[in-house]
Amino acid sequence: MDSIINTFHIDWKIMIAQAFNFGVVFIVLYVFALKPLIKTMKERTEKIEKGIVDAKKNSEILNNTKAEYEEILVKARNEANNIFQEGRKEAETKKTLMLEKAKEDVVVMIENGKKTLENEKIKMVNEAREEIASISIKIAEKILGSKVDGSFDEKTIKELSNI
Query: How do residues 64-108 score in pLDDT, each as one tens digit?
Result: 999 999 999 999 999 999 999 999 999 999 999 999 999 999 999
pLDDT confidence band for 152 (50 / 70 / 90)? low
Among residues 62, 41, 59, the alpha carbon closest in space to that of 51 is found at: 59
The distance between the two most distant Cα atoms of the chain, rounded to a whole number of Å, is: 195
pLDDT confidence band for 8 (50 / 70 / 90)? confident
pLDDT confidence band for 12 (50 / 70 / 90)? confident
Give the integer Cα–Cα distance in Å for 42 and 35. Answer: 10
What's the pLDDT at 132? Answer: 85
Return the higher-pLDDT residue of 51 and 2.
51
Domain boundaries, the chain: 2-162
Stated length of the chain? 163
